[in-house]
Structure 1
């Protein structure tokens, strides 16, 4: 059987916006297939990282990695770094995955940035205890912002515009709505991807409903200086206003951070 797409379902982020949760929930559907983890080439069985880490390995490597053992199954690649692919990379992506279903989960830019920086702090401190680390406005903080690609990940409007030129039917979800009713969000994703829900047996639906309630990959809530919050808020404010105007989403998750920083 000839496959139309190397990957049938692409989730392009945002990083720290329930993409791990969504991968676990979608890959549990009997109509999907997740590639085996090939550490350190991939990030678990979720992120193939073809266009950043592995592009030098070539298209055939990507096709082999992501091809299901049963061609009737839908293959997955949930790599948040794909959100800021350039035009040349998107052209290649469209060639490899002409009919892929694309999903983009948008989280309040400030809240997402704080979560991402806390994740990078975990890595930098080798999983130190939460009371042993903090985020202070200094050169180390600014370097972590750079390494975490805070502004690339937060450039939602620009990322969305590029991707929509190639995949105009992409599904865009609000992280806050998804967190408030994860099962409804999962059903929306299934519908977008052509995955059956009503035809599943009761046991499978119950298992998927239970999985939809799980919380995946929480980061410790390290202390955060008000100067860090104000810096991030200032540099991300335009991005937040642009995406709210584009999508009509109302982001409120970061409001407590802003109140505490005053």
Structure 2
């Protein structure tokens, strides 16, 4: 899943390496706002949840899953890689159809082309992203980076989407950071060799923003007090209970999900930080762990891994 690492991923089974987004597609749909957001956390199960909700006829998820609209506006440092995201995702979707021996639907091809040409990331463009959602389905934006929006960014979200139903998946701070670190090293082709190298890696502030629960949770709960906050570990232990809670929160009916206990995007083999580096990371993240215990309770914290 977009969340993997030292903690156990959703229960055993074949790893699902491709997200199943909503198959329904209305080429004549009108631009509309999403009715729900999944704001993260990164490496905390958002791809698994998208895999499940993408099957539900009352939910519609864009074919590239992560829209990256609000962070593009409020986190300038994200803009360079968001450009890469939109340059590459359409080609990935076309390649996926080809690999499966399926023709690329012309309406999907036109949709992807239209969204990635000309001016992007304005308000009407955002609504166009969700235009193909069938009339009976709730459009949903899955973008884990939204969790780290600053105060004015979350204010903007609340102004644009005042009735949005928000979901936040929380993974144990240390497990989440280790998973993100391993993903970053794999993408960058780096392999720390010494303990000193690993200790330098865990000090990288890039690991902090996506897992700064002490800042993110109160900020979002102040604007969306009914936000559904779920612990990552529950996905492995009781995925049906997770989906029951999500369905109730979104106001959608029950559904019999396929592959409920299968992994999505599990972290492949690669560099693993030594125990001493993980212990140092745990010490550095102790305030985040303490915050979760105080804010959400000891039982919730235990379920984050």
Query: TM-score, length-normalised on structure 1?
Result: 0.78
User: Would you say the 8 A contact 2:167–2:228 is kept in 1?
Assistant: yes
Alignment of 1:175-254 (within 5 A): 175-197=232-254, 205=256, 208=257, 210-221=258-269, 222-248=271-297, 249-251=300-302
2:60 pairs with one of 27, 33, 39: 33
How big is the alpha-carbon RMSD for the aligned residues of Structure 1 and Structure 2? 2.5
Correspondence for 2:230? 173
Report whether the alignment pairs 1:146 with 2:146: no
Q: CA deviation digits over 1:184-232, x for unaligned, max 9?
A: 11111011101101xx5xxxx2xx1x32212001113533223321221
Indicate the structure whose relative CO is greater, using CA pairs within 8 Å and at least 6 residues apart.
2
Deviation at 1:166, TM superposition (A): 1.0
Q: Is structure 2 residue 219 aligned with structure 1 residue 162? A: yes
Comparing 149-158 with 108-117, greater Cα deviation is found at 149-158
Matched, 1:118 2:175: no
The answer to whether residue 157 in structure 2 is matched with residue 109 in structure 1 is: no
Report the CA distance shift for 1:99/1:67 in structure 2 as closer, same or farther (over 3 A).
Answer: farther
Q: Is the 8 A contact 1:135 1:228 kept in 2?
A: no
Q: How far apart are 1:51 and its partner, in Å?
A: 2.2
The alpha carbon displacement at 1:138 in A equals 4.0
In 1: Cα distance, 2:222 partner to 2:246 partner = 21
Aligned to 1:259: none
Give the SS at the match of 1:77. strand
When structure 1 is superposed on structure 2, of 55-64 and 166-175 the one drifting more is 55-64
The SS at the match of 1:173 is strand
Q: Extract unaligned runs of 5+ from structure 1.
A: 37-44, 127-132, 255-262
Query: Where in structure 2 are there 5+ consecutive unaligned residues?
Result: 1-28, 75-119
The answer (yes or no) to whether the contact 1:136–1:228 under 8 Å persists in 2 is no
- Number of aligned positions between the proteins: 229
Q: Distance in 2 between matches of 1:134 and 1:231?
A: 16
